[in-house]
Structure 1
Amino acid sequence: MDKIVSFIIPSYNVEKYLNKCLTSFLNLEVLDLIEVIVVDDGSKDQTAQIARNYIEQYPNVFRLISKENGGHGSTINVGTAAAAGRYLKVIDADDWVITENLKEFVDKLAVCTADVVLNPYHQVDMMTGEKTVWKMFLDQYETIYTLEDVVRNWKNFDRCFAFHGICYNREFYQKHRYELPEKIFYEDHEYTTIPCSYAASIYPMDLYLYQYLVGNAEQSVSVTNRLKRMSHVEKVTEDLIRHYNAHPEFSGAAKEYIYKKTEGVILSYYVAGCIMNPDKKAGRRDCVRYNEMIRSLNPEIFSRVRKKYQIYEWMNRFHVSLHLYEQLLHSGLYNKIRNNQKIETDS
C-alpha cells in the first residue's frame, strides 16, 4: 500500500527520548499508510538498537538509516531523499506526535494536493509538562491559500511557518530541493524558508500533531548554546539572504515571505547579542559586525531591520535582562508596538 506520509526522525544520542517518540506513531489505524524513517547521525549510544527493535515489530512502518555524523541538516537531507510518502514531515527524536490525531492527519493528507501543509503544535515544558499553544488565527481552515494571502495576513500564519508546523508535499520538495548545510545549527530556518518560497498552494489544518519538548539545556535554543553558536546564525542568515538575492524573478509575495522569515532569524541574533550576552559591549560589537554583513549582502534588508536593531541596542545599553525582556514581550505595551510594526518577537 502506498504511504501517505513519511515521518523523518533525526537522531543523535537520543536513547533517553527515542522510545517515546517512536511509540507515538503506533496508531493501528494508520500503520499501513505511514513510514517512520530514523536517521541515526553517528550515535554512540543505543539509538540505532532502539530503532531496530521497532523495525523487528513493525517492519513495514519503521526504517533505519545509519550514517556518519553530519549534523541535523544532514539527517534531513538523507531522510527526505529516502522518503516514499506523498508528504514529508520531520519530527525531532526528543519530540513526539499526538497518537490519536494521526488518523485524522493522514486522512486529510490522503486527499490533499497542496505544496505545503501547516498544523498548530504544542510546546511542552519538560520540567512542568505545561503546554504552550502555537497556532494560526484564521477564519477558515482546510482551504488553499497562496503566499500572497500569507504575507498579507502574516501575523495570522507566522507561528506555524516553523519547523514544528510545516509539512511538505514530497514531489514539490524534491522539485525545489535544497541541501541543508551540515554541522550547522538553526538550519531549520532554511528548511522552512527556501523550499516554501516556491509554494503555490498552502493548506492549513486546525489539528494539533507535533509536541515540541523544551527546557533541555542541551537544546540549541538554550541561552548557553545560542551564545555559543552565534556564528551558526550568521551562516543561516547569509544563506537566506543569498537565496533572496538569487531569485529576482520571484513574485513580490515570495520575496516578502523570504524577508519575513529572514527577519525572524536576524531578530533572534539581536536578542542573543543585545539581551542574552552578559558582556553587553561584546554583544553590541557582535551585532555591529553582523549588521555590516547584512548591509553588504543586501542594503534593502538592512534598511528594513535597522530601526528594530536600534530598539535592541537601546535595551542593551540600559542592561535590560532576559527576564525583563520576556515580560515586555507579553506586555500590553509590547503588543501595541508590535501591532504598529515597530518591533517584533524573535520567534
Structure 2
Amino acid sequence: MHKIITFAIPCYNSAADMDHGITSILEGSDFAEDVEIVIVDDGSQDETAAKADEWAQRYPSIIRAVHQENGGHGIAVLTGIREAQGTYYKVVDSDDWLDGSALATMLSILRGFEERGMQVDLFISNYVYEKVYENKRTTISYRGALPRKKVFTWDKIGYFRPDQNLLMHSLTYRTEVVRAANLPLPAHTFYVDNIYAYVPLPLCKTMYYADIDLYRYFIGREGQSVNEATMIRRLDQQFRITRIMMHAYHLYQDVPESRLASYMMGYFTMMMAVCSVFSKLSGDEANKAESKKLWAELKEYDERMYRHARGGILGIGTNLPTKAGEKTSIALYRAASKIFKFN
C-alpha cells in the first residue's frame, strides 16, 4: 500500500525506551496501513535489535526493522531517509513520542493534500519539552512566526523568537526534498539535528504549519546530550557541527529568499553563540582558543555572515572581553536559558 509518511526511529541501546514511541505512532494513527515505521538499530548492544524484529513481525505491513553497524545518530537518520517509502519523512527519537490526537490531525491534513493532488515540501508542527522528572512541560509553537492553516512560501514568514527555531522535532520533510539535500551528517557525532533542521530549508519551496502539539521531547535525563555538563564534555562535537553549518551556505548569496536567509542567519548565530558561551563554561583554555579560531574562520569564509553574527546582541553578549566579561556572558546565558527554556 502507498505510504503517506515514514517515521524513522533511530535506536542505540534503546530497549528500555523504544516501545513507548512506537506504540504512540501505532495507536495515534489507528494502526493505519498508509503509515510506515522504520526502526533503525544502530549496532545496539542490548535487546534493541531483538525488540525491533519483534515489532516488525507483529506489524509487518507497518513496521520494518533495519540493522546496521554503529554509526551514530546522523548515520541512522540517513539510513531512515534511504529506506523511507513514505511521501513524507519524520524522525522520532527512541525516547520521545507523538501525541495521538495531534498525529491524527497531521495524517488527515497530509491525506487531504494527496486527495487534492498536491504536496508541500515541509510540514511544521509544535513540540513539547516533557520534563518528566520535574513534572513540567513547555510547549514551543510558531504562532506569530508562521501563517496557519494555509500553504505558504518563505516570503510570508514573520519574526522568530529565540525559542522558536525550527528543530528536528517540529519538521516533517517531503522525502524527496530531504534526499535531495544530501545531508552532511557526520558519524559518531551528537547535535546532527541542527544540520537536519538547517541544510534542507532552501530546498523547501512550499510549507504548511499545523498549530498542533505533536512531538513530545523527553528532556532532563542525566547524561542527555542537551544536559549542560554533557554539552561541555562534547564541545568538540558542537564545534564540528557548527563548522559544517557554516560551510553549507554563503547565506546572503546562496539563499535568494531574504526572510529565509535572515532566519537561517539567526539560527547559525545561535550555534556560534553556543560555542562561545560553552567554551567559557568549560573553563578550558583550549576550548576558548578553538572558539576564537571558529570566529576567525567565519570571518575569512564570509565577512558579511561574520558581521551579522559577531555584531549582533548574541555575538556581542557571548564574547565579552576580560574575566569580568566572561562572567557576564555566562550570567546572560543562564538568564536566557531560564526565560527561553533551552535545556
When normalised by structure 1's length, the TM-score is 0.86
1:185-224 residue pairs with structure 2 within 5 A? 185-224=190-229
Match of 2:170 in 1: 165
Post-superposition CA distance 1:256-315 (Å, at most 9, x none): 3432221121122123123x32x2755543422221222222222221122333322339
Query: Unpaired runs of 5+ in structure 1?
Result: 336-344
The answer to whether the 8 A contact 2:4-2:35 is kept is yes
AA paired with 1:82? E
Aligned length: 331
1:212-291 residue pairs with structure 2 within 5 A? 212-245=217-250, 248-253=253-258, 254-274=260-280, 276-277=281-282, 279=283, 284-291=288-295
The answer to whether the 8 A contact 1:118-1:160 is kept is no
Q: Look up the SS of the partner of 2:138 in the other structure.
A: strand
* Whole-Å separation in 2 of the counterparts to 1:268 and 1:85: 35
The answer to whether the 8 A contact 2:309-2:315 is kept is yes
* Whole-Å separation in 2 of the counterparts to 1:94 and 1:176: 26
The answer to whether the 8 A contact 2:5-2:89 is kept is yes
Work out whether 1:133 is the aligned partner of 2:139: yes
AA paired with 2:112? V
Moved more, 238-247 or 58-67: 238-247
Give percent identity, aligned residues only: 23
The answer to whether the 8 A contact 1:30-1:103 is kept is no
* Whole-Å separation in 1 of the counterparts to 2:169 and 2:142: 13
- Evaluate the alpha carbon distance shift between residue 114 and residue 328 of structure 1 in structure 2; reply closer, same or farther with a 3 A threshold: closer
1:58-137 residue pairs with structure 2 within 5 A? 58-112=59-113, 113-137=119-143
* Whole-Å separation in 1 of the counterparts to 2:299 and 2:76: 32
* Whole-Å separation in 2 of the counterparts to 1:267 and 1:246: 18
* Whole-Å separation in 1 of the counterparts to 2:322 and 2:238: 19
Match of 1:326 in 2: 334
When normalised by structure 2's length, the TM-score is 0.87
Task: Report the Cα offset of residue 162 of structure 1.
Answer: 0.6
Match of 2:155 in 1: 148
Work out whether 1:11 is the aligned partner of 2:6: no
Q: Look up the SS of the partner of 1:10 in the other structure.
A: strand
Instruction: Calculate the aligned-residue CA RMSD, in Å.
Output: 2.6
- Evaluate the alpha carbon distance shift between residue 317 and residue 282 of structure 1 in structure 2; reply closer, same or farther with a 3 A threshold: farther
Query: Unpaired runs of 5+ in structure 2?
Result: 114-118
* Whole-Å separation in 2 of the counterparts to 1:157 and 1:108: 28
Moved more, 320-329 or 93-102: 320-329
Task: Report the Cα offset of residue 214 of structure 1.
Answer: 0.6
**Paired residue for 2:302, among 298, 313, 318?**
298
